[in-house]
Chains A and B, each alone.
Chain A
Amino acid sequence: MTPRITDVWVYLSASPLLGLTLTLIAYQAAYWLYQRAGFNPLLNPVLLAILMLVTALTLTGTSYATYFDGAQFVHFLLGPATVALAVPLYLQFDKLKKLALPLAVALLAGSLTAIVSAVGIAWLLGASETTLLSLAPKSVTTPIAMGIAEKLGGIPSLAAVLVMLTGVSGSVMAKYVLDGLRITDHGVRGFAVGIAAHGIGTARAFQVSEQAGAFAGLGMGLNGLVTAMLVPLLLVLWRWI
């Protein structure tokens, strides 16, 4: 007796194999397109892969939870990958040491810009207070952003979505913004992208060069710490005024 196609589907959709395989296929298809388009930033592979997967899940009526059962194996690697950032950081340490002051000042300026402009623009356009509080930490890596949003009264899962939007839009725009400003140094480019667009920006920087990636990783890590301190401080200041 041969199983019907619907039986096979019932089996597959309950197994983690499908979510995991789909994630790898979607990403590689997206990367192939990105490569074929001459690495056009608009065809960012993370963005494309997400769009493909959301479309596939929506069309097949598969829930995110079911998909994540399989995709979690990829997601899990974010932890060791973050630890692995220590390696390029170590290799670029001599360069970084010499640039301590420019790095520190740029970090503070970039971090403040990200927080104040995001909240300011959304406030002008009439966003609710919960949304504003969830927007404040949008430029930092997801677990830190969720923690900050939760502490302030925002919505952690909304913060996670905003972090994603920030990372993807930053990766798409970075080349245009930096080329427009005629910034050529890979260290400067990487650091700016890491501050503004955290891990997704850092991943993008690693596709350009190890130097850009190392500076981006540093920017991402430091901005996580600075934002965690700045946002509560700015909130107190804002309520006081």
Chain B
Amino acid sequence: MLGALTVLLVFQLIGEVLVHFARLPIPGPVIGLLLLFLGLCLRGSLALPLRDTANGILQHLSLLFVPAGVGVMVHFSRVSGEWLPILAATIISTALAIAVSALVMQALMRGREGADDGKGGA
């Protein structure tokens, strides 16, 4: 587990360094994700400890957003000044984005299944 955690941190570090020097508009951990993914593809296999550690962290991913979420309290006055447009826009547009993404993807998958005679399926 310690080794796997180190792997994750090393890839994050490489990501942060690349972002800093190449001035990429993408967060370092996202580059780290891409690099680790490429590494796994090249290696062609996944070590069990890495799989377990990754799953362990991702199971508690929700917890990791709590500290940043509490930060909303700092901006309470700014948000409350325009609460109606802000709440209406975030809530309605998020529901719409979920619906549109899902409907488009489902429609295209159905079309493809038809063309493939349904093999593979979903």
**Which residues of A are in contact with B by a Cβ distance under 8 Å?**
23-24, 26-27, 45-46, 49-50, 53-54, 57-58, 64, 67-68, 71-72, 74-75, 77-91, 93, 98-99, 101-103, 105-107, 109-111, 113-114, 117-119, 121-122, 125-128, 131, 135, 138-139, 141-144, 147-148, 151, 155, 157-158, 160-162, 164-170, 173-174, 177-178, 181, 183, 185, 187-189, 191-193, 195-197, 199-200, 202-204, 206-207, 210, 213, 219, 221, 224-225, 228
- Report whether A50 and B106 are in contact in the complex, using a CB–CB cutoff of 8 Å: no
How many B residues have CB within 8 A of the partner chain? 74
Query: What residues of chain B lie closer than 8 Å to A98, measured between beta carbons?
Result: 120
A-B CB contacts (within 8 Å), total count:
318
Query: What residues of chain A lie closer than 8 Å to B98, measured between beta carbons?
Result: 110, 170, 173-174, 177-178, 192-193, 195-197
Interface mask (B72-106 → A, CB under 8 Å = 1, otherwise 0): 11110011001011111111111111111111111
Nearest A residue to B8, CB-CB: A80
- Report whether A125 and B102 are in contact in the complex, using a CB–CB cutoff of 8 Å: no
Nearest B residue to A119, CB-CB: B89
> Measured between alpha carbons, how far is A125 from B84 in the docked complex, in Å?
8
Interface mask (B26-42 → A, CB under 8 Å = 1, otherwise 0): 11111011101100110
Query: What residues of chain B lie closer than 8 Å to A155, measured between beta carbons?
Result: 78
> Measured between alpha carbons, how far is A183 from B102 in the docked complex, in Å?
7
Interface residues of B in 56-79 (CB under 8 A from A): 57-59, 61-75, 78-79
**Which residues of B are in contact with A by a Cβ distance under 8 Å?**
5, 8-9, 11-12, 15, 25-30, 32-34, 36-37, 40-41, 46, 50-51, 53-55, 57-59, 61-75, 78-79, 82, 84-106, 108-109, 112, 120, 122
